[in-house]
Amino acid sequence: MNEMSRAVTEVATVKLLIDGKFVESRSTQWRDVVNPATQVVLARVPMATRDEVDAAVAAAQAAFKSWRKTPIGTRARIFLKYQQLIREHMAELAALLTAEQGKTLPDAEGDVFRGLEVVEHAASIGNLQLGELANNVASGVDTYTLLQPLGVCAGITPFNFPAMIPLWMFPMAIATGNTFVLKPSEQDPMVTMRLVELALEAGVPKGVLNVVHGGEEVVNALCDHPDIKALSFVGSTKVGTHVYHRASLAGKRVQCMMGAKNHAVVLADANKEQTLNALAGAAFGAAGQRCMAASTLVLVGEAQAWIPELVAKAKTLCVNAGHEPGTDVGPLISCAARERVEGYIESGVQQGATLELDGRKPHVAGYENGNFVGPTIFSGVKPGMRIYDEEIFGPVLVILSADSLDDAIALINANPNGNGTAIFTQSGAAARRFQDDIDVGQVGINLPIPVPVPLFSFTGSRASKLGDLGPYGKQVVLFYTQTKTVTQRWFDDDTLHVGVNTTISLK
């Protein structure tokens, strides 16, 4: 983080959104938003002050009083309009995302589209936020439940999906009647802010959605704020664990989706060409900066002979700036990220893994200053090596071997993370055994990235998730609402009272 040292007119400043107005921060601490392919400064983002965080929460608190009573149909229509606006601006959003994050344009469109699916689901809130009714649970007595909004909610989002993950959060929170304070990643907030502008255009009232920017101090302020009732986080395990415990101690409802080490198991009977294509895309797409990347490959039995063909497939991928046609692997988000990934590669070599393909320092003509690491493959990897035990978050695929499917399952279940896993096979029996015995929240069968559509819920598990409920789908409706149970009896005026009943019976 650098101090303000240049005139604000040199590059655009990213604004805060407080009570329906985009305002300039009064912070003295700012960070550059940098194009990772060129190092060109695109904008400057403020580290918001504590007063600005308090103002955003206060605006959300004030707006909640009327928003919680807004008819559910009115809320739904806002998100019908919002999904239309996102579709109309898809190319603009993807280009902005690619410039600040580095993804290829097709991958950037996919980022926006997967968030758009959640917006579409939010437009169905009338069917999702239904309570239950039991008639005549006792004589003349009915019981029913209400799913009521909590109040002010907050979200902290990561750099790797600056469109999708904000759209996982604030649409469902707002659709259920809450108000929201969003803290986007300070590394690439521009596409998030454009999505926020479109949300206001769609009709989100002032104060219902607010945005603050910043780093650790702002995160802690959101965790500690007494008027925030629920907090959602997606990001690294280190930060997520801190957020979960700090916000929980402050009495908040919390969900944290965190780090991963996703294993893909390949049996020898799998369709080779389809499997190799799927693995290359899942391991190296988005430069490996996905919490659902297939970063770990377990080859079972005779499938261990596939390594040369997988290496050959990886070599065909084009490393270039994300906006260039034909690019398969764009840059990492920052110079620090590139240096970290290169450090992991060196550690793999030092610890005895076989470097089948070295992606360090690729030559990318015209983008010599970019944060590029090409597809990298290690074989002979074992538990205990850093490249297996830790999340690399780069285009590095580590390969382990197993003699049997049972051995592969035992290996995966021994890993602390449980975000996602996959199996490639043509055996229904093997796939069924895998899905039943694997202790991982999300399972793909002949699919490398098993991220559910919003009709279901994101269900990572174990060390990859803290909190019981997922960030979208039916589970998130429960996360953003409080169940109130009402038991009622009505009497006619001429009903005869039978006297005082001191038992617990409702007869």
Q: Which of the residues are catalytic?
A: 291
Helices in 180-304 by DSSP H: which ranges? 190-202, 216-224, 237-249, 272-284
Structure tokens at 439: 């202790």
Q: How many residues does the chain have?
A: 507
The torsion region of residue 93 among left (phi > 0), alpha (psi -120 to 50) and beta comes to alpha
b/e per residue 464-495 (b: at least 16 CB within 10 A): bbbbebbbbbebbbbbbbeeeeeeeeeeeeee
HEC string of 167-202 equals HHHHHHHHHCCCEEEEECCCCCCHHHHHHHHHHHHH
* Helical (H) or strand (E) element with 204: none
Structure tokens at 271: 């369709």
Structure tokens at 110: 């996919």
Residues 6+ apart with CB under 8 A from 199: 82, 170, 171, 209
- Kindly report the backbone phi and psi dihedral angles of residue 494, in degrees, each rounded to the nearest multiple of 5, phi listed first: -95, 10
Number of helices and strands in the chain (H, E): 16, 24
